[in-house]
Amino acid sequence: MNRDTLFHLLTEEQRQHFEEQGYLVVENALSEDTVASLTDAIDRLHEKVIESGKTTPNKPWGWANFLGEDDAFLDLLDCETTFPKIWGIMGWNIFLYHAHLHIKPPSLDTEPGAGWLEWHQDSARMNVEIKTRPRPRLSMKIGYFLTDISEPGRGNFYIIPGSHLSDERPQALSEVGRNPREGISNQVPDGAIPVCVKPGTAVFFDRRLWHSRSPNHSEMTRKVLFYGYAYRWIRPKDNMTVEHLYERIDPIRRQLLGAAVRNDGRFAPTDDDVPLRTWLIENLGEQAVAAMD
Binding site for ligand AKG (CB under 6 A): 102, 122, 141, 157, 211, 213, 224, 226
125 CB-near residues (< 8 Å, 6+ apart): none
Helix, strand, coil percent content, the chain, rounded in steps of 5: 30, 20, 50
Strand pairing partners for 159? Answer: 193, 211
In this complex, which beta carbon is closest to ligand AKG, that of residue 5 or of residue 121?
A: 121
Phi first, then psi, for residue 143 (nearest 5°) are -100, 120
Which DSSP symbol is given to 51? H
**Cα 95 from Cα 97, distance rounded (Å):** 6
Least distance to ligand AKG, CB of residue 226, Å: 5
In this complex, which beta carbon is closest to ligand AKG, that of residue 213 or of residue 254?
A: 213
Phi first, then psi, for residue 129 (nearest 5°) are -85, -20
Contact 207, 167 (CB under 8 A): no
In this complex, which beta carbon is closest to ligand AKG, that of residue 5 or of residue 187?
A: 187
Q: How many CB atoms lie within 10 A of CB 202?
A: 23
Least distance to ligand AKG, CB of residue 293, Å: 30
Least distance to ligand AKG, CB of residue 160, Å: 13
Least distance to ligand AKG, CB of residue 206, Å: 12
In this complex, which beta carbon is closest to ligand AKG, that of residue 207 or of residue 277?
A: 207
In this complex, which beta carbon is closest to ligand AKG, that of residue 217 or of residue 277?
A: 217
Least distance to ligand AKG, CB of residue 102, Å: 5
Going by C-alpha positions, the residue among 81, 88, 87 that lies closest to residue 28 is 81
